[in-house]
Structure 1
Amino acid sequence: MSGSADGTTSITEATEIAGLRVPQGHAARAALLVCAEYADEGLFNHSVRSYFFGAAHARAGALAFDDELFFVSALLHDLGLTKPFDSHTLAFEEAGGELARVFTAGLGWSVERRDRAAEIIVLHMRDDVPAAQDVESHLLQVGTSADVSGRGLDAFDPGFTAELMRQLPRAGFGAAFLALADEQLRRKPGSAAAGMVTSGLAGRIAANPLERS
């Protein structure tokens, strides 16, 4: 199940992994369509896995969250790394946040809800956000950290993780993401992505058990 070059995806509202489902509705379908069209298979699968990791974390901790808002943010969070949406001045998460504002305006979301989607995407690259402060941003941080570097992976049920990887394989994600982050370092040395690279991103990705699954 993945995005493809022609923008199609087999991920639908019926997709279920360990009792967790993709949200229903036009916003979720549109986010899937856009992510599948602009992201390659590895980046698309990472985006969906980040949602499922975050949703599983919320279920385990009995955290209430806005499923639609979180899903849309998760599907758009890395599109600032793709060529059509990469900015020569903005960090990729900030470019992704601006993309989210435009995308959700087309959905008819209020300004406040559009701002929230952008905020979640930007904050996933910032210092840890507690769930009590901003649950959706917290969930995206948990989901992306688990998937990129394996941080907190031991907290997830191994059966859930195995099913997630079966339905949404890595497809070379680790190496491709590191190359994208290296490019951010080269062009935007003051960005959060640059900081990840200089603080040992390559080693963390190599040590992630998901890269060997």
Structure 2
Amino acid sequence: MTSSSWTPSNTYTPIRRGSTEWAISGCPILGVVCPNNRGGTFRSRRPSKAGSTERGNHRATENDLLYHHSRRVFLFGALQGRRRGLDPDLELLYVGALFHNLGLTPAYGTLHQRFEVDSANVAKAFLLSYGLPEATATNVWTAVALHTTPGTPELLGAEIALVTAGVETDVLGIDYAALSPADITAVTDAHPRPDFKRQILAAFTEGNKSRPDTTFGNVNADVLAHFSPGFRRTDFVDIIQNSPWAE
């Protein structure tokens, strides 16, 4: 990621190939080997101000459940990328992972569009505010917006594919067995997931129950069908059969 308005941070720690302990913008995380081809060392170019603003926004707007989940999504996404031989921009993957659920929070959620789109809009605005190119910000927007759309992200760029891969590993257990027990333990020791299944379903319910129409055609309809009394799915077949067309 390059921009004339971004300068090297004084708070980064290098990520070295083979390392199991590292940091981005001064935030220590465990359990990832840097999947890059940049001579084995990756240095975050996110400035201290941007990094601290990002972390402050998350701790102010996301509870522990969503914060630790978002960090695990980044870590699991990076690990799945290494396994798949992908070479993501780790900074973009990090932003996508940390912002992917902000649309579930009162601070950023709306009533008229999917929470994934709300989250994507915040991520894109964040990157543009630091002078990143439109195409770069749109790439992260796409990664966040599609993270609950099965069958599509893996056909697109590395960052898009791996935000979804991180979500799928942490929430659904997809490709869980493909990761080493040591890596899984390192990630969950750093970012625990107590009572996660119940709590994440409750967060999805709370974040979508006031905008049920936005769940048409996506996985959040399943959540509301289980946990929101009175919810009735919009039925695709009904829409076709009751459209104004004669045939």
Confirm or deny that 1:45 pairs with 2:68: yes
Q: Is the 8 A contact 2:204 2:220 kept in 1?
A: yes
Segment drifting more, 137-146 vs 15-24: 15-24
Q: Which residue of 2 aligns with 1:160?
A: 183
Q: Which residue of 2 aligns with 1:4?
A: none
Q: Which residue of 1 aligns with 2:197?
A: 174
Secondary structure of the corresponding residue to residue 15 of structure 1: strand
User: Which of 173, 181, 195 in structure 2 is aligned with 1:150?
Assistant: 173
Aligned mates of 2:225, 2:180 — CA distance in 1: 29
Q: Which residue of 2 aligns with 1:66?
A: 89
Q: Which residue of 2 aligns with 1:82?
A: 105
1:77-136 CA deviation, whole Å, 9 max, x = no partner?
Answer: 001001111111111001111111221122111111121111110011112235453221
Segment drifting more, 13-22 vs 75-84: 13-22
CA RMSD of aligned residues (A): 2.6
Aligned mates of 1:156, 1:108 — CA distance in 2: 36
Greater helix content: 1
Q: Which amino acid aligns with 2:105?
A: T
**What is the count of residue pairs matched by the alignment?**
192
Instruction: Using structure 1 for the length normalisation, give the TM-score.
Output: 0.79
Q: Which residue of 1 aligns with 2:140?
A: 117
User: Which of 195, 198, 208 in structure 1 is aligned with 2:221?
Assistant: 195
Segment drifting more, 54-63 vs 185-194: 185-194
Secondary structure of the corresponding residue to residue 212 of structure 2: coil
Aligned mates of 1:187, 1:14 — CA distance in 2: 34
Larger radius of gyration: 2
Aligned mates of 2:106, 2:69 — CA distance in 1: 17
User: Which of 31, 45, 49 in structure 2 is aligned with 1:18?
Assistant: 31
Aligned mates of 2:52, 2:183 — CA distance in 1: 23
1:126-180 CA deviation, whole Å, 9 max, x = no partner?
Answer: 1223545322111111111111121221111111101111111114433222112
Residue 12 of structure 1: CA displacement? 5.2
Segment drifting more, 21-30 vs 96-105: 21-30
Aligned mates of 1:68, 1:111 — CA distance in 2: 16
Q: 1:19 to 1:123 in 2, by over 3 A?
A: closer
Q: 1:107 to 1:17 in 2, by over 3 A?
A: same
